[in-house]
């Protein structure tokens, strides 16, 4: 019988209104590298949060057996004491402290209440040697690159005598050299007997390193494949990840496609936190009137970054490239410029960036187009009210009145307010980032209908979405983005989930 | 929950509740005072609160703008003192006429506000630090002008300061009250009917979303500190009417009174919600506490601070309850 270090069975986790995990099973053998694959939102991270005690025992159903004992973790401390360490995609290091201090943070090497610095730095140096990090233990963490910070995290995990190391998208922010080094390190740890679970979108890495793969889709375990016995290819994993049929959740739409309205060429954006890293790399896009274009990409591919850098440089540094509006080159330096050139961007994080939640509907609707509603600085409140009333009706916003506070509306109705706000600026190009995130099915259909109507009015719509079926059901043409580069452009007729997923997981050659 | 029912099924939107509570508090204090003390329940007592606190009211108006954007202005008390000092010294020394001095003072105050607003915006520094520096700077400048109190003896200035504007039935107010009322009305108009006002609320509601809506967040921030600087300078002029002197120790701690008035008036310190009318009520409540204590006669004036302290606790708790309900 195989020795399983971890067995999770029947895990069901419900959030208000959503079943994030449903009867999930995960078995990890001792000393293997186990990959978990699934689309964005499939439930991978939720599962790892259940395992590590972020969602404490009792808030989910099901059982966890870890290392021969029942795992009933009340918090991260409990799971760490049992030997489970999770390294999140966003690294959890304290940037102004040294490498050694970070490694022993919360676990200080102390004698009679005072920190023993010699021992701290000596033991840190030993751990750093184990993970192949050649730096001085007293170097401040913010002075080393992300790749090395990742190694600090692993050294920190080793200092806690980890038995099961979980890495969430460990290579998403790394360049090729750092990724290769990290994968080698994981193999080394496996040989030392440490079990690893990695969550990754990069299927080439998964096939290269994992001993087995569990595929999760829509909050359920689909299958667990053994790399040695099953002939596992990237295709095999992809079909497991996407395998579901499209039904008629999308209103029918016959596009009337007109002239080109927006074109970007050679668009390159650098990360503001790591100025050397290109988040968007030489991207080119063309949008035409009346057309709904999709932008597909996995998390971290640079979709939002592309959109926001285009929308008045609200993201990124060192932005270069050319933008053409109706064939003429334009410069967009601020959000006001973008609005003036007829570009609108509805953000993926509606609550934080898209709305003023403590204000009412009419003030949110008018916010981006106030100049059109006012004369010499004075807002025409009657006009504002009339405009808000019009959208209240035409967008079917379910609220008692236009004076209702936006924060109290449902997600779907909030999104309608966001769309109303942008439609009021009379845009030629609408960039909609995850327009149906956190919206229930009925409201989604309404949003799709609105998007179709916007296209029929002769506007170009760019839809960014993590849900491939949504893009396939809605868009006339789909671009795929991977690691900041446009890896494909597929017309609706030729698009399938498998084909898009291939393009989206295509690494740099 | 969008609304809070009060008695007979009448519903009041949640955003008006803090103002309403302050209003009720004011009325309750007035009624209690009227029952306890002879001669308290007269119109002139209320008007005296206005007369004695006109300068605080003007300063608190400026503070309301800043706090609505989610900022804070600690420099107002010092700018008030500096304004009294500049006015007094220019009128006493070179004997400049008030109609030159007053505009100059207003210009200096606005200029200081503009500078602080620009620092907050351009270098993205916390307003607390910038205006703390401004507070020390302005207070220090007072002493470079003089360390002693300088009396104001300009005939026009004193005559204006001592003017009584008679209302009906023996009631009267000072010109400062009229000026403060004009400032309040103008500010209320700007906040509720102009694009600047919208940008103020939107910036305080969520700065990032305001940026992504294309609102001029930077310009708005600079504007509110300039307005606060102007209001402080005007408050200083009104204080010199009241004191008829300039002194580096005038208005010590007034920034905190202004902040207290704004918070008691129901404006959230995190910005985005609040009404100017609430600030007016806040100033009135503070003033009425002082009046009650003076009627009481035996209590030391430090009791004012104790009551303000307790009130602030109560209001901050109240705000906490509301914001907790808003973000479940």
Among all residues of chain B, which has the CA nearest to that of A337?
A: B214
Residues A240 and A223: beta-carbon distance below 8 Å: yes
The pLDDT assigned to B307 comes to: 81
Contact (CB<8Å) A368/B214: yes
In-domain check, residue A440: no
CB pair distance less than 8 Å for A354 and B196: no
- List the helix and strand counts (H, then E) for chain B: 13, 6
What residues in chain B have their Cβ under 8 A from chain A's Cβ atoms? Answer: 2, 13-15, 193-198, 201-202, 205-206, 208-216, 272-273, 326-327
- What is the tens place of the pLDDT at every residue in B113-147? 999 999 999 998 999 999 999 999 999 999 999 88
pLDDT of residue B71: 94
Residues A12 and A150 in one domain: no
**Smallest Cα distance from A368 to chain B, Å:** 5
- Residue A367, domain extent: 349-426
CA–CA dist A485, A461 (Å, integer): 20
Q: Do A356 and B205 lie within an 8 Å CB cutoff?
A: yes
For the range A121-126, what are the long-range contacts, defined as Cβ-Cβ under 8 Å and sequence gap of 24 or more? A123/A159, A124/A99, A124/A100, A124/A155, A125/A100
CATH number at residue A215: 3.40.50.300
pLDDT at B25 exceeding the cut of 90: no
Whether A16 contacts chain B with CB within 8 A = no
Residue A445 is assigned to a structural domain of this protein:
no
- Which residues of A fall within a CB distance of 8 Å from B194? 374, 377-379
Buried/exposed A338-372: b ≥16 CB within 10 Å, e otherwise: bbebbbbbbbbbbbebbbbbbbbbbbbbbbbbbee
CB-CB contact of B68 with B274 (8 Å)? yes
Let me know whether A76 and A214 are in one domain. Answer: yes
ipTM of the complex: 0.71
Number of domains in chain A: 4
User: Which residues does residue A167 pair with via DSSP β-bridges, in sequence order?
Assistant: A87, A198
Instruction: Report yes or no on A444 lying in a domain.
Output: no
Per-residue tokens: A62 = 């099901």
| pLDDT of A420 | 94
Amino acid B134: pLDDT: 95
Q: Measured between CB atoms, which of B194, B213, B216 is closest to A379?
A: B194
Q: How many C-beta atoms lie closer than 10 Å to residue A295's C-beta? A: 26
Same domain, A174 and A285: no
Contacts of residue B193 in chain A, CB cutoff 8 Å? 378-379, 381
Residue A89 carries which DSSP code? S
Q: Residue A325 pairs with which residues in a beta bridge?
A: A262, A328
What are the distances in angstroms from CA A395 to CA A245, A345, A424, A426, A435?
30, 18, 12, 15, 15
Please, what are the averages of pLDDT over each run of 10 residues along chain A (509 residues)? 84 79 90 87 84 88 88 86 86 85 85 85 91 88 84 89 88 77 90 90 84 88 85 80 64 88 93 83 93 89 90 87 92 91 91 86 89 85 91 89 86 91 93 85 84 93 89 92 91 89 76
8 A C-beta contact, residue B278 and residue B265 = yes
> Is A436 within the bounds of a domain?
no
Contact at CB, A356 and B210, closer than 8 angstroms: yes
Whether residue A232 is found in the same domain as residue A279: no
Q: Are residues A77 and A173 in the same domain?
A: yes
> Measured between beta carbons, which residues in chain A are less than 8 angstroms from residue B198?
363, 366-367, 370, 379
Task: Verify that A462 and A333 share a domain, yes or no.
Answer: yes
| Tokens at A258, concatenated | 């007109």
Quick one: A383 and A396 in the same domain? yes
Does the beta-carbon distance from A358 to B326 stay under 8 Å?
yes
Q: Residues A76, A180: one domain?
A: yes
Q: What is the pLDDT of residues B200-237, one digit of tens each?
A: 999 998 888 888 888 889 999 999 999 999 999 999 99
Query: Does residue A449 sit within a domain?
Result: no
Query: How far apart are the CA of B196 and the nearest CA of chain A, in angstroms?
Result: 7
- Report pLDDT for B13: 66
On whether residue A237 sits in a domain, the answer given is yes
Angle between helices B195-205 and B43-68 (to 10 degrees): 70
The pLDDT assigned to B327 comes to 43
Which of A353, A404, A405 shows the shortest C-beta gap to B209? Answer: A353
Confirm whether A251 is domain-assigned.
Answer: no
Which chain B residue lies closest to A313 (C-alpha atoms)? B212
Cβ of A374 within 8 Å of Cβ of B194? The answer is yes
Contact B183, B231 (CB under 8 A): yes
Q: Compare all CA atoms of chain A with the CA of B2 and give the residue at the minimum distance.
A: A408
pLDDT of residue B4: 44
Residue pLDDT, tens place only, B268-279? 888 888 889 999
How many CB pairs (< 8 A) connect A and B? 86
Within 8 A of A335 by CB-CB distance, chain B residues are: 211-214
Q: Indicate whether A307 and A409 sit together in one domain.
A: no
- A368 vs A421: CA distance, rounded Å: 6
- Give domain status of residue A458, yes or no: yes
Shared domain for A172 and A294, answered yes or no, is no
Domain range summary for chain B, segments of one domain joined by +: 49-251
Per-window interface: A 94-113 vs B, CB < 8 A:
none
């Amino acid at each position: 019988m195989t020795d399983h270090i971890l067995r999770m069975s029947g895990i069901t986790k419900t959030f208000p209104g959503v079943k994030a995990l449903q009867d999930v099973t995960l078995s990890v053998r001792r000393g293997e590298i186990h990959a978990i694959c699934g689309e964005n939102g499939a439930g991978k991270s939720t599962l790892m949060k259940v395992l590590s005690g972020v969602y404490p025992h009792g808030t989910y159903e099901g059982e966890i057996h870890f290392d021969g004992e029942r795992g009933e973790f009340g918090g991260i401390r409990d799971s760490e004491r049992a030997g489970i360490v999770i390294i999140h995609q966003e690294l959890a290091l304290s940037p102004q402290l040294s490498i050694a201090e970070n490694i022993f943070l919360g676990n200080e090497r102390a004698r009679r209440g005072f920190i023993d610095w010699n021992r701290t730095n000596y033991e840190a140096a030993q751990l750093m040697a184990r993970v192949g990090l050649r730096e001085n233990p007293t170097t401040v963490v913010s002075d080393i690159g992300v790749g090395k910070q990742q190694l600090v995290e692993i050294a920190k995990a080793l200092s806690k005598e980890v038995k099961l190391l979980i890495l969430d998208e460990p290579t998403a922010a790394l360049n090729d050299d750092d990724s290769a080094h990290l994968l080698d390190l994981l193999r080394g740890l496996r040989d030392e007997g440490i079990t690893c679970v990695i969550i990754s979108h990069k299927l080439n890495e998964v096939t290269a390193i994992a001993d087995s793969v569990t595929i999760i889709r829509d909050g359920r375990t689909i299958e667990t494949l053994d790399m040695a016995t099953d002939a596992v290819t990237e295709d095999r994993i992809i079909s497991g990840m996407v395998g579901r049929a499209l039904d008629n959740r999308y209103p029918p739409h016959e596009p009337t496609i007109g002239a080109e309205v927006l074109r970007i060429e050679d668009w390159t954006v650098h990360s503001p936190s790591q100025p050397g890293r290109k988040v968007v790399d030489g991207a080119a896009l063309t949008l035409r009137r009346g057309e709904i274009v999709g932008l597909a990409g996995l998390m971290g591919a640079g979709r939002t970054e592309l959109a926001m850098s285009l929308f008045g440089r609200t993201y990124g540094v060192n932005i270069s490239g050319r933008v053409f509006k109706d064939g003429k080159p334009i410069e967009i330096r601020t959000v006001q410029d973008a609005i003036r050139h007829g570009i609108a961007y509805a953000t993926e994080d509606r609550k934080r960036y898209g709305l003023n939640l403590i204000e009412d509907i009419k003030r949110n609707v008018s916010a981006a187009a106030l100049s059109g509603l006012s004369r010499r600085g004075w807002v025409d409140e009657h006009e504002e009210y009339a405009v808000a009333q019009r959208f209240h009706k035409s967008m079917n916003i379910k609220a008692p009145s236009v004076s209702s506070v936006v924060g109290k509306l449902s997600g779907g109705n909030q999104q309608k307010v966001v769309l109303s706000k942008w439609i009021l600026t009379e845009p030629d190009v609408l960039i909609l980032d995850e327009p149906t995130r956190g919206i229930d099915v009925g409201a989604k259909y309404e949003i799709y209908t609105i998007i179709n109507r916007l296209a029929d009015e002769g506007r170009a719509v760019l839809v960014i979405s993590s849900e491939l079926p949504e893009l396939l059901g809605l868009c006339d043409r789909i671009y795929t983005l991977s690691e900041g580069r446009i890896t494909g452009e597929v017309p609706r007729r030729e698009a399938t989930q498998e084909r898009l997923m291939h393009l989206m997981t295509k690494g740099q050659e | 929950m969008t609304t809070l029912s009060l008695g007979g099924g009448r519903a009041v939107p949640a955003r008006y509740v803090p103002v309403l509570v302050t209003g009720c508090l004011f009325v309750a204090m007035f009624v209690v005072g009227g029952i306890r003390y002879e001669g308290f329940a007269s119109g002139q007592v209320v008007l005296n609160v206005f007369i004695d606190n006109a300068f605080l009211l003007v300063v608190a108006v400026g503070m309301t703008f800043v706090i609505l954007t989610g900022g804070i202005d600690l420099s107002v008390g010092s700018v008030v003192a500096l304004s009294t000092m500049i006015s007094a010294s220019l009128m006493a020394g070179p004997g400049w006429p008030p109609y030159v001095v007053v505009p100059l003072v207003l210009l200096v105050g606005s200029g200081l506000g503009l500078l602080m607003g620009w620092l907050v915006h351009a270098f993205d520094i916390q307003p607390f630090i910038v205006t703390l520096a401004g507070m020390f700077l302005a207070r220090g400048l007072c002493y470079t002008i003089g360390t002693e109190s300088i009396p104001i003896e300009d005939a026009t200035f004193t005559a204006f300061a001592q003017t009584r504007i008679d209302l009906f039935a023996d009631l009267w107010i000072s010109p400062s009250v009229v000026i403060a009322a004009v400032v309040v009305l103008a500010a209320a108009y700007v906040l509720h009917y102009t694009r600047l006002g919208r940008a103020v609320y939107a910036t305080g509601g969520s700065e990032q979303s305001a940026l992504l809506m294309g609102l001029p967040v930077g310009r708005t921030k600079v504007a509110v500190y300039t307005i606060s600087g102007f209001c402080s300078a005007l408050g200083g002029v009104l204080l010199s009417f009241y004191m008829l002197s300039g002194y580096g120790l005038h208005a010590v701690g007034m920034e905190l009174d202004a902040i207290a008035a704004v918070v008691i008036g129901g404006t959230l310190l995190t910005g985005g919600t609040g009404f100017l009318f609430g600030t007016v009520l806040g100033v009135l409540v503070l003033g009425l506490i002082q009046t009650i204590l003076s009627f009481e006669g035996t209590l030391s004036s430090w009791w004012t601070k104790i009551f303000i302290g307790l009130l602030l606790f109560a209001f901050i708790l109240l705000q906490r309850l509301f914001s907790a309900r808003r973000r479940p």
